[in-house]
Structure 1
Amino acid sequence: MNTRKRGCALLFCIGFVLMLLVSSAFLIREADHDCCGEHCPVCEMIAMTTALMRSFCLIAAVMLLRSVFTAARSAFHAPETGYGHSAGTPVSRKIRMND
């Protein structure tokens, strides 16, 4: 199961990088185009590509900050509290209960 998850994550990362490269190549190629008027399809595509890249960069920045905070928390051995984190059960903490 782990190899399947890793494979899917790898495919997602490759697709993400390819999308960024293709978008960047389009923006570089069409940066100095001759605009044909008010409803220029190239200008509309440049605006959509720019918005797409901004949103993906924002998501990447949030994920980077989350990983930095998670690494800092584990480095200082702070207990995880908050939504989705519990203290654990005696079984998960491997506590032996003798009656």
Structure 2
Amino acid sequence: MTKKFRFMVRLLAVVLAVVMLSSAVYLAVEADHDCSGDDCAICRQISICENLLKSLGLAGAAAAISAAFTYTVCRAILPCAEMNGTLTLVALKVKLSN
């Protein structure tokens, strides 16, 4: 990976963490507000923050499960392929002298 790509990945992770943290803080701060009724802007914002946290949590869980599955499958398949290629006399450092 290039340095620019790594930087962008880290930046995206930081931005995602800030968004999730700010949503959680907003929910904690505004939990005991005085509701003005059905058209309460704070209640609407709290609902949006809850939906954001649920969707990001679900997306994170799906990404983690797919990464774990991919890693497990690759670890199961690749050792067999590596074993077939490494069992040569040169790889085993067998001295071939008369």
Given the two structures, how large is their TM-score scaled by the length of structure 2? 0.75
Other-structure match for 2:30: 30
4+ residue runs of structure 1 moved beyond 2 angstroms? Answer: none
Larger fraction in helix: 2
Alpha-carbon distance between aligned partners in 2 of 1:5 and 1:75, rounded to the nearest angstrom:
25
Which runs of 5 or more residues in structure 1 are unaligned? 79-99
Structure label with greater radius of gyration: 2
| Cα shift at 1:76 | 1.0
Aligned to 1:55: 55
Instruction: Report the TM-score, using the length of structure 1 for normalisation.
Output: 0.74
Instruction: Report what 2:76 is aligned to.
Output: 76
Ranked by relative contact order (alpha carbons within 8 Å, sequence separation 6 or more), the top structure is 2
- Cα RMSD (Å): 1.3
Following TM superposition, by how much is the alpha carbon of 1:64 offset from its aligned partner in structure 2, in angstroms?
0.4
